[in-house]
Chain A
Amino acid sequence: MISTRRGVSRLLLAVCLVLAGCAHYVVNDPLPPVRIAPAYRFNEAEALRNTNSLFVCLVFSGGGTRAAALSYGVLEKLRDTRIVWKGVEKSLLDEVDCISSISGGSFTAAYYGLFRERIFTEFRPRFLDVNVEGALLRRVANPGNWFRLASPYFSRIDLAAEYYHEEIFEEKRFQALADDGRRPFVILNATNLANGERFEFTQEQFDFLVSDLGTYPVARAVAASSAFPFLLSPVSLKNYPHPVTFELPKDYKEGLLDYDANRRRYYWARNRAIYVNDKELPYLHLMDGGLADNIGLRPIESAYRRSSGFIRKLINDGAVEKFVLLIVNARPDGGDTISKDESPPGLSVVAVKTATIAMDNYSVETIEVMKELRDMRVRAQQNIAACRRLLAQCPNPPRVPGLAADIEPYVIEINFEAIPDPERRKYFLRLPTSFALSRDQVDALVRIGPALLDEAPDFKELMESLKNP
């Protein structure tokens, strides 16, 4: 009898170990020897409904369902904003060329990228109004998953990614975005835990891993983007051996020479070039994109600055007339809860503060940098125009070379700080960062986005200029 029980116990243990051993996260595929399908990159070809001349980028910050709902409300507002551009009537949403997102904002960005107008009927019942945290806890509580979670290669984030994959993103992979080919180009951002560097789910980034983004589930990218430290574990990727023919793109090669001339560019190039060392770095582990930039603005800044950046190339080619950057910032302010205590805060408070203080400070800074770039461009155009006017008064004035085309840049930011009523402002600023908000809270967030946009001075100016092109 005893030996039978022991036998059954051993069998059960063996089954458990086998089950646990089998559980493994979804591994990204290597690049195929020959690629036939299109890769997920920015599509430079413009379409009738989406011109280069009116170039619109959206940035969706992190902040759980609070951020997802705020950015969803802004999408509704853009859909309802009718414009006439180059003789074609359309919605402002039709002109959105890129979306860069972090964490909670990545749910909205990915859903819109994959399903377009369907977002306006499906996203609330499928995500915003759902207690996602409860659903994830139920999966964790399911004994069938305990064995899988015992595996060193499968963790809570993989359960979360499975839920997003099955219940929200219809098991779509990046190839679906690449095959569609239309803009906006959606950039989902995470953070490489090893070096704190931003990691974007684009084929350009995956080229450095000799990996194919096309076969990778969109849900796993969203999971990586929103893997908040301490609550969730990292999403892991494989860095495949680089063939002897692998060559860094020239922009990166030149950047690596810029330690003295341009330290920012040097680190940008170096932080991508490290992946070439696949023997030392065969894996990378990604967490919440907010650790590197909780606004999601840095990919846009990079695309604006770099000679290989998709925005820079269009601007230098004179293709852009209006450049609109709309930042949807769901930054909270829970108030100072620690400075009134004589005793120092406990470990959990310190842990959360450590994870978020740098995020918040850095995020404000990136918005200001983008505004400085806008001002620099405007000043350059004004200086050239002023110089030409002055010289025009001289006999036989010399030709003053100019930029390919003048652009009107707009950097529009909406955030809860702009709400005039103090109580109402406090209500939004104190909404928690969670994936389980009430229907009333979601309703309020969806409504406040359009209201804030209507009141944003730069948005008013943009609308005015679109009325009088």
Chain B
Amino acid sequence: MEYLLVTFPRPRRVKVDDEYNGSTGDVIELEAGSHVITLGPPANFKPSEQRIILKNTSELAPREIAFDLDT
């Protein structure tokens, strides 16, 4: 399995491939490969989604991606 950490200034649910999978600030365990990451509503974040290829991560060194507040 691979590991992902999504950050956003506020607590928010994380969507992976259109499905809710965990929350910002938690390490999310996922299968290796291509995934589309976005956040749950409200849509006040940017970018609107990020495509990543998850590989060579570990629980202590997860892939980190950040979303910013879109004010």
The answer for the CA separation of A401 and B14 in the assembled complex, in Å, is 15
Interface: A9 (CB within 8 A): no
A261-B53, A402-B27 known; A313 vs B34 contact (CB < 8 Å) = no
A261-B55, A401-B5 known; A255 vs B33 contact (CB < 8 Å) = yes
Within 8 Å CB of A266, what residues of B?
33
Which residue in A250, A258, A262, A377 is a CB contact (below 8 Å) of B29? A377
Within 8 Å CB of A257, what residues of B?
33-34
Interface: B68 (CB within 8 A): no
Within 8 Å CB of B1, what residues of A?
305, 373, 376-377, 380
Which residue in B18, B21, B36 is a CB contact (below 8 Å) of A316? B21
What is the CB-to-nearest-CB distance from B58 to chain A, in angstroms, rounded to a whole number? Answer: 8
Question: Which residue of A has the minimal Cβ distance to B23?
Answer: A404
B29 touches A316 (CB 8 A): yes
Question: Which residue of B has the minimal Cβ distance to A317?
Answer: B22
In the complex, per-residue mask of A139-161: 1 if CB is within 8 Å of any chain B CB, else 0 = 00000000000000000000000
A380-B59, A387-B60, A400-B60 known; A254 vs B19 contact (CB < 8 Å) = no
Which residue in B5, B33, B55, B62 is a CB contact (below 8 Å) of A254? B33
B26 touches A251 (CB 8 A): no
Within 8 Å CB of B25, what residues of A?
401
Question: Which residue of B has the minimal Cβ distance to A403?
Answer: B27
What is the CB-to-nearest-CB distance from A404 to chain B, in angstroms, rounded to a whole number? Answer: 5
B28 touches A250 (CB 8 A): no
What is the CB-to-nearest-CB distance from A84 to chain B, in angstroms, rounded to a whole number? Answer: 29
The answer for the CA separation of A401 and B65 in the assembled complex, in Å, is 13
Interface: B70 (CB within 8 A): no
What is the CB-to-nearest-CB distance from A319 to chain B, in angstroms, rounded to a whole number? Answer: 10
B31 touches A307 (CB 8 A): yes
What is the CB-to-nearest-CB distance from B65 to chain A, in angstroms, rounded to a whole number? Answer: 13
In the complex, per-residue mask of A220-253: 1 if CB is within 8 Å of any chain B CB, else 0 = 0000000000000000000000000000011100
The answer for the CA separation of A305 and B33 in the assembled complex, in Å, is 12
What is the CB-to-nearest-CB distance from A209 to chain B, in angstroms, rounded to a whole number? Answer: 21
Within 8 Å CB of A316, what residues of B?
16, 21-22, 26, 28-30
Interface: A300 (CB within 8 A): no
Which residue in B3, B20, B35 is a CB contact (below 8 Å) of A317? B20
A313-B21, A316-B22, A387-B60 known; A250 vs B33 contact (CB < 8 Å) = no
The answer for the CA separation of A339 and B27 in the assembled complex, in Å, is 53
Within 8 Å CB of B22, what residues of A?
316-318, 404
B31 touches A249 (CB 8 A): no
The answer for the CA separation of A116 and B5 in the assembled complex, in Å, is 42
Within 8 Å CB of A124, what residues of B?
none
Question: Which residue of A has the minimal Cβ distance to B19?
Answer: A308
What is the CB-to-nearest-CB distance from A403 to chain B, in angstroms, rounded to a whole number? Answer: 5
Which residue in B3, B5, B21, B23 is a CB contact (below 8 Å) of A312? B21
A250-B18, A383-B60, A404-B22 known; A306 vs B31 contact (CB < 8 Å) = yes
**Known A262-B33, A384-B60; further 6 A-B contacts with Cβ < 8 A:** A254-B34, A261-B54, A313-B21, A316-B16, A317-B23, A380-B1
B residues touching A (Cβ–Cβ < 8 Å)? 1, 3, 5, 16-23, 25-36, 53-55, 58-60, 62
Nearest 9 Cβ contacts at the A-B interface: A316-B22, A262-B33, A258-B33, A380-B59, A250-B18, A316-B21, A250-B17, A251-B17, A257-B34
25 A–B contacts, CB within 8 A, in A order: A249-B18, A250-B17, A250-B18, A250-B19, A254-B33, A261-B55, A262-B33, A305-B1, A307-B31, A308-B17, A312-B30, A315-B29, A317-B22, A318-B22, A318-B26, A373-B1, A376-B1, A380-B1, A384-B27, A384-B60, A400-B60, A401-B25, A402-B26, A403-B59, A404-B23
